[in-house]
Amino acid sequence: MTLADLDKMEAALARRLLPWITVATNRIMRGVKDAEAHAHKALTDGVREEQDGQRTARRFQQSPSYQAALNRLESLQAALIGPRVDSTDGLIRDARAAFYADSITLWSPHIEPEYRVTPEPAPTKAGEAMMRSAIIHGYDLSREIRPAIETARNHMFVAMNRASRRGLVQRDGDQLITLWATDTRARLVRKVVQVLSDSDKAVHEATGWLLVKPEYRGERVLTTGGIHF
């Protein structure tokens, strides 16, 4: 493989990544916007009338609108990585499956037939499942994304507590919720872009490894739970 070939491959990886970043960003924007709208609704006069502290917190936490805001964040998490810790679906996992199929096409012309694990490389269900559940840099997707969503939930609780204080005018309370939403969108987009970018490169490397006969492969950790790289 020449340097020109490597440059073309790198360009291909960058091109295929961008649509997934766009889709993920739009999904985050919608999810946080919905959560923000419900958080604003939870900031009622009744909440403001409570004594500052635990009573205020209990009041807004019991609000259907606050619970709906939490549910929107939970739905966003499920959309990104699936609803369960052991899920193999979700947007980011779908991206990994697409990267896997595309990488087979990218690698095939550069692997001589005598080194290939199969004469005509093609995606397999086992290979796709491996990529969807891959451990990258020591983290599975659940450990990457769930803490980011949990941070969003915790920060929303703090924003609601501050916005519910007695004497705070409605406009200033709403501004605190808006600032939470702005910060949350930025944090989640950064995290998901990073995870997608890492997945793009790592899945490509792992796919090339899988296409080569075992005796010609380099070091890689393969377990019943998937591939670690």
Q: What's residue 219's pLDDT? A: 56
Query: How far apart (Å, rounded) are the C-alpha atoms in residues 97 and 126?
Result: 11
Alpha-carbon distances of 216 from 99, 108, 227, rounded to whole Å = 23, 15, 17
**What letter represents residue 43's amino acid?**
L
Q: What's residue 221's pLDDT? A: 42
Q: What's residue 198's pLDDT? A: 95
- 182: closest CA among 147, 152, 161? 152
Number of domains, the chain: 1
Cβ-contact 169, 13 below 8 angstroms? no
Cβ-contact 195, 92 below 8 angstroms? yes
Which domain covers residue 81, as residue numbers? 3-228
On the question of pLDDT at 28 being above 50, the answer is: yes
Handedness of CA 74, 185, 175, 163 (dihedral sign): positive
On the question of pLDDT at 51 being above 80, the answer is: no
Q: Over the stretch 89-110, which tens digit does the pLDDT of each residue have?
A: 999 999 999 999 999 999 999 9
